[in-house]
């Protein structure tokens, strides 16, 4: 029976963590070997600390996820390393979404608060409508992200299968 990597589906950028006795250099070489074997669908790199795996450009779309890997020495267990992985969109897309969320929150906080104070004082009510703009800047990208996650589910499965195969082949998980 194969032990799977536990990935929480509700999270925006699912993560996993696995402890291993492999050194960072050994894991890096193993990951390079597996990427080379899958060079028709995946590309990536890995050094002794970080790595990244994604679909090749002609198969990759705007919403395609990538797998970011960190290899860390485990401070609590001598001679063990921790492999951490995070599935998520390209960093420029992630930054765009976070900027939109931040801008929407700032609009709601500043002009929305000003509008509610004016409304409470009976001065006017026009600034209250900026809450709608702020809400659209938050809800719009959130809905787009959920649609993108559904579209990219197949790509996510390819990346998850790949990293599980690497970890099983190297006897990190059984």
Q: Is residue 172 part of a domain?
A: no
Please tell me the total count of domains within the chain. 2
pLDDT of residue 1: 40
118 shares its domain with 136: yes
CA-based nearest residue to 53, from 167, 156, 171, 131: 156
Rounded CA gap, 71 and 61, in Å?
A: 27
- Calpha distance 65→43 (Å, rounded): 13
CA gap 3, 121 in Å, rounded: 62
pTM: 0.74
* Whether residue 34 sits in one domain with residue 50: yes
80 and 56 housed in the same domain = yes
pLDDT the model gives residue 6? 55
Q: Which domain holds residue 123?
A: 93-149
> 86 and 97 in one domain?
no
- Looking at the structure, do residues 84 and 98 belong to the same domain, yes or no? no
Which pLDDT does position 7 carry in this prediction? 52
Cα separation of 144 and 131, whole Å?
20
Q: pLDDT tens track of the chain, all 174 residues? A: 445 555 555 466 788 888 888 888 888 888 888 888 877 888 888 888 898 998 887 666 677 888 999 988 877 777 788 889 988 888 888 899 999 999 999 999 998 888 888 888 988 878 888 889 999 999 999 998 888 888 888 888 888 888 888 888 877 766
How high is the pLDDT of residue 98?
92
Residue 1 Cα to chain centre, angstroms: 28
Residue 142 lies in a domain: yes
DSSP line for 107-173: HIIIIIHHHHHHHHHTS--GGGGHHHHHHHHHHHHHHHHHHHHHHTHHHHHHHHHHHHHHHHHTTS-
């Amino acid at each position: 029976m194969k032990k799977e990597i536990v990935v929480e589906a509700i999270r925006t950028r699912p993560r996993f963590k696995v402890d291993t006795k492999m050194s960072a250099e050994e894991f890096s070489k193993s990951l390079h070997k597996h990427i080379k074997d899958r060079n028709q669908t995946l590309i990536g790199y890995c050094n002794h600390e970080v790595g990244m795996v994604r679909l090749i450009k002609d198969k990759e779309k705007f919403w395609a996820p990538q797998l970011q890997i960190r290899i860390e020495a485990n401070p609590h267990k001598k001679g063990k390393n921790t492999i951490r992985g995070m599935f998520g969109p390209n960093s420029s897309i992630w930054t765009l979404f976070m900027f939109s969320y931040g801008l929407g929150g700032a609009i709601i906080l500043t002009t929305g608060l000003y509008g509610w104070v004016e409304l409470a004082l009976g001065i006017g009510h026009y600034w209250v409508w900026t809450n709608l703009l702020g809400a659209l800047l938050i809800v719009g990208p959130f809905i787009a992200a959920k649609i993108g996650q559904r579209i990219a589910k197949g790509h996510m499965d390819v990346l998850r299968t790949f990293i599980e195969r690497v970890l099983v082949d190297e006897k990190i998980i059984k």
